[in-house]
Amino acid sequence: MLYSITDIHTYIAYTEFFVEIQTETEQTGEIIVTVTLTESDEDPYLDRSYKRMVNRLKVPGFRPGKAPKSIVESMVGRIGLVNEAIEFMIPESLDQALKDNDISAFAEPHIELLGMEPTQYKATVPLEPVVILGDTSEINIERESVSITDEQVQEVLERIRDEQANWEPVERPIEYSDLLNINVKGTIDNELVIDDSEIDFIPIEDSVLPFPGFAPNLLGHTETESLEFEITIPEDYARKEYAGKNCIFQVEILSVKVKSLPEIDDEFAKGIGEGFDTLDDFKINLQEQLATEAEGQAALKVQEDSLNQLVEISDIQASHLLYEREVDSLRREREQALSNQQVDLETYLTYIGKSPEEFTEELEQAANERLNRFLVLKQFSNDQEIEVTEEDVQTEIDNMLKSYEESDETRERMESFFNTESTKDSIRSSMFNRKVLEKLVDLTEVSPTDDASEASKDDTSNTDK
């Protein structure tokens, strides 16, 4: 049975629960269910809460767990039993209410407890999102041509050269991009907020660490110097408790080093990876790698552009709860990623110079885009009847095992790993996403010759007129 979000305003009485189904808002993709339980509805749940409580209570005249329900209820009151039952009474009664009304929840409902005498709660239930896909024939994506220039190869060479550089001691005043080793203390309102010893620091002009304006004060000083200076933290600084305040720094410069870059020549090429005979050989290898990467990026861009345009021309009706939870999920992912790097969110925001409000706004945009893309791809895969069979998964595993054929022991170990259910599920999911995107690209990608043919047809048509 399907319910129209704007049409349901009825009070429906059932033998088990009194259920009110209504729309208090005009939110798309959800329904609000109000459940009121009578005492007889509550009794089976209170029997369970009694059995849980009686083992914890000390009842005079009774052995542990042997006091009758009436005695326990007289001690804690009926409301005490209801409190004990709430954690299982609400989800179970809601599940029954939804079944009785043929309502299928797409995600976990949001519960608001309205009262406990009698028990009454309101559940906002996300329904299956409705996605009406746009016409893929309206999407025409042309793959970007790949051409690697000498300048691109030189940029990679310079980056590798920089990575191969050594830090050499230097006897001159500090400049930007030097590597310093320093002791530093920072005090705000007589409180020590920074206390680091023998830390490496590279002064960069626009650096906001540890506070904006710190790095420029180091320029011109030399190794073994001790200096003291004061900076005013900007009013718009992300950490509000420090914004607009003065910080007094005490810095000891322990060492100053400069980056020593190697010459880019045949000797340089011989020291990279497994080594190349000449610099020209290395450049040819780099050009081939860059071409392969560029082709892969061009393919990904076709997928991205195709999906983005399909999302743009599709109609998506989904509960606001789904978007809110996607934001929460993305926030947890970001915080976990930072935690893995031993960085907290507050420090990260300070480093990138953004406020918590700006960060949340970015999360909301990214989460909305991610959920919309997921819903559109889900509907597209259903419409196209795309599936991954067990045979497909096994073929993929066999192909992956070919790279381990040199060692029987390694192959056996990897074969055992690939054939676990969790790994198979991961492979199946990856294959499914790949097949969906490949099908979408098949329907939306055009070649330059296709565009030329269409233009020629248009010219011919205009000439005939």
Give the residue carrying structure tokens 């893309």: 373
Number of H helices, E strands in the chain: 12, 14
| Dist CA 391 CA 404 (whole Å) | 21
Task: Delimit the CATH 3.10.50.40 region(s) of the chain.
Answer: 167-260
DSSP E strands in 170-322: the ranges are 179-188, 191-201, 226-232, 246-260, 315-317
Residues in contact with 336: Cβ distance below 8 Å, sequence separation at least 6, in sequence order:
none
Give the residue carrying structure tokens 């919309």: 372
Task: Delimit the CATH 3.30.70.1050 region(s) of the chain.
Answer: 10-128
CB neighbourhood size of 458 (10 A): 10
Which listed CATH number (3.10.50.40, 3.30.70.3040, 3.50.50.60, 3.40.50.800) goes with 167-260?
3.10.50.40
C-beta of residue 270 within 8 angstroms of C-beta of residue 277: yes
| Mean pLDDT calculated for residue range 289-313 | 95
315 beta partners:
132
Is the pLDDT higher at 277 or at 447?
277
417: left (phi over 0), alpha (psi -120 to 50) or beta: alpha
| pLDDT category of residue 311 using cuts at 50, 70 and 90 | very high
Superfamily of chain region 10-128: Trigger factor ribosome-binding domain (3.30.70.1050)
**pLDDT surpassing 90 at residue 5:** no
Is the pLDDT higher at 13 or at 309?
309
pLDDT at residue number 24: 55
| Dist CA 204 CA 216 (whole Å) | 8
C-beta of residue 162 within 8 angstroms of C-beta of residue 265: no
**pLDDT surpassing 80 at residue 406:** no
pLDDT at residue number 442: 95
Amino acid at 189: D
| Dist CA 40 CA 454 (whole Å) | 73
Q: Which two tokens stand for residue 349?
A: 């925001």
CA atoms within 13 A on the CB side of 352: 11
**pLDDT surpassing 70 at residue 462:** no
Give the residue carrying structure tokens 């030189």: 154
pLDDT in tens, 177-189: 999 999 999 999 9
pLDDT at residue number 447: 78
Where helices occur in 165-278 by DSSP H, the ranges are 266-270
C-alpha dihedral, 10 to 12 to 17 to 20, nearest 10°: 0
Amino acid at 372: N
The DSSP secondary-structure symbol of 256 reads: E
| pLDDT category of residue 8 using cuts at 50, 70 and 90 | very low
Helix (H, G, I), strand (E, B), or coil: what is residue 185?
Answer: strand
**pLDDT surpassing 80 at residue 26:** no
pLDDT at residue number 12: 38
Proportion of the chain above pLDDT 70, given as a percent: 90
pLDDT at residue number 1: 28
191: left (phi over 0), alpha (psi -120 to 50) or beta: beta
pLDDT at residue number 464: 53
Q: How far is CA 179 from the centre of its chain?
A: 34
Closest CA to 19 of 116, 96, 112: 96
pLDDT at residue number 103: 87
